[in-house]
Structure 1
Amino acid sequence: MRNMNYEMTFFICHIENIIWRIRRNTPKDTVDVLSKINGSAKLSPIRFYAPGRAKRWDIGNMKIPVFENDDYRAAAALSMIEKTLEKSIFDRLASEADVLARERGLIFTKGFAAGNPATPNIACTGNVGAARSAPHWPMNAIKQNGEIDCILYINLDAPSGQLASFEVAIHEIGHALGLGDHFKDFGDGRAAAYAFWPVLSQLYQLPIGYKYS
């Protein structure tokens, strides 16, 4: 059953996303933001790969396989992201096994969000990891050229039963798509708000491996 927190955050995100897609106003410092949080991330797992270069999925030659796990948040969030990027980039598959067979893609789970081991007392309702309940990305998740090429689990909802909001779902997908560290309107303030959209859009306009200045 959908919860009120989902309904409220979905409505807010939906309106903000529509406004941004109408305006398409990308701040001048967007590439600078990406240089810090994608190219030279300090906290995210992507910091170990292709330093100083753009890291993202290849959506030009193939779609990203996805198992939504019958999660209404995942379905709505993926559709919103495709509208933002003005391209169908997700290949929605019927099972987790289908994604595993492709050896790349995103798998949504429910009830397995892994918190930060350094802050065990803080409830976590979403994370991206190498498996259910895994706090870290898989080894060799990103190729030397900056292409994300692995299987990532997007774990929504805490094992204790606390549910992830729609904003949290958007936020975790943002991490999985290459947004490493937090920035304004992406973990700095709200989980995912207006300023998130131009940054994600700009990342997928840059070539894989683009060298930030």
Structure 2
Amino acid sequence: MSLNYASLICAAALTVVAVSACNSDSSSSRPATDDELMQYLVGSNLRFGMAHDLIRDTDTITQTCLFGSRYRDEWDDETDAFLGYWDREQEILLPPHAELECLSWRWNDDLIPVKTNGSELAERAMDEIERVFNRHVFDRHSIANVPDDEIDAGIIVSMGTSPVPDGADPRAFCANVAVGPNDLSPISNNIWQDDASYEIDFPVFINLGNPDCSPNLNIVIHEFGHAMGLEGHFPGFGMGGAISNNFWLVLFSLYNNPPGTREQDLLLHRPFGF
């Protein structure tokens, strides 16, 4: 089943960058509507440009999607006033003419290389994702014996390297996805590059566990969701539970739309049985 939404805006309020996973097996009890599911997909994943013109009043700038690799914002240091957006050629784009688009990003349609470093939970998480997708998703062999620091692209499972900020509850930082072990930098930092192709094509680390917390299967599946492109939490994915039907519907939809799909062209897809 697929649905097209041409008028939904990028929901910036939903794009809270996730640096920790939920520590609960519970899931959201209320199924999301199709409109809500599309908003979750847009808010969690889309990162490039602006969907529509900026809206500005005397005090507030409302942006409909976070800007990304092709553009950067410019502020007046003295007045803190917003001036506009710069493109790659350093030409400024001023509202209301900054019609920059929100675009999706993910791994391409080839099998995603994964090095589990012996994690049984990672193997089980991949099994469950492939069961829901009803196809092979992961390449479990090509980088299995490659040293972590020599992997050019792929998901690397790292054990015991989920960092805990000073003073934080270790149970709230039981696992995370980042650009390296013991790191909190989101993988979208690498997507926001001038040569970005809207595809994840670099090393992505799933950091599992710290000395005071060991993740369960649902948390590991949750972190694979982050590693596959769902950066922001939404109800049923880090809000009200680690995973839920909402999570599966959003992740499945992301991987049934090509990388670089415009917001207005996104289709909502449902895996068999959902």
With normalisation by structure 1, the TM-score equals 0.75
The percent of aligned pairs where both chains have the same amino acid is 28
Is 1:95 aligned to residue 147 of structure 2? no
Structure showing greater Rg: 2
Q: What residue is the counterpart of 1:122 in the other structure?
A: 169
Match of 2:220, SS? helix
Against the structure 1 CA distance between its residues 167 and 190, is the aligned structure 2 distance closer, same or farther, given a 3 Å change threshold? same
Structure (1 or 2) with the greater strand fraction: 2
Structure (1 or 2) with the greater helix fraction: 1
Distance in 2 of aligned mates of 1:190 and 1:150: 29
Q: What residue is the counterpart of 2:38 in the other structure?
A: 31
Q: Does the aligned pair in 1 maintain the 2:122–2:220 contact within 8 Å?
A: yes
Deviation at 1:148, TM superposition (A): 1.1
Against the structure 1 CA distance between its residues 40 and 141, is the aligned structure 2 distance closer, same or farther, given a 3 Å change threshold? closer
Q: What residue is the counterpart of 1:149 in the other structure?
A: 201
Distance in 1 of aligned mates of 2:250 and 2:39: 10
Against the structure 1 CA distance between its residues 49 and 56, is the aligned structure 2 distance closer, same or farther, given a 3 Å change threshold? farther
Q: What residue is the counterpart of 2:112 in the other structure?
A: 64
Letter in 2 for 1:28: D
Matches of residues 64-213 of structure 1 in structure 2 within 5 Å? 64-93=112-141, 95=144, 97=146, 101=150, 103-115=152-164, 117=165, 120-123=167-170, 124-137=173-186, 140-141=190-191, 144-158=196-210, 160-213=211-264
5+ residue gaps, structure 2: 1-23, 49-65, 71-100, 265-274
Letter in 1 for 2:136: S
Q: Does the aligned pair in 2 maintain the 1:66–1:99 contact within 8 Å?
A: no
Against the structure 1 CA distance between its residues 49 and 171, is the aligned structure 2 distance closer, same or farther, given a 3 Å change threshold? farther
Distance in 2 of aligned mates of 1:187 and 1:194: 12
Q: Does the aligned pair in 1 maintain the 2:47–2:68 contact within 8 Å?
A: no
Deviation at 1:92, TM superposition (A): 0.7
> Please, what is the CA RMSD of the aligned residues?
2.9
Match of 1:140, SS? helix
Distance in 2 of aligned mates of 1:81 and 1:99: 23
Distance in 2 of aligned mates of 1:120 and 1:167: 25
Q: What residue is the counterpart of 2:15 in the other structure?
A: none
5+ residue gaps, structure 1: 1-7, 17-24
With normalisation by structure 2, the TM-score equals 0.60
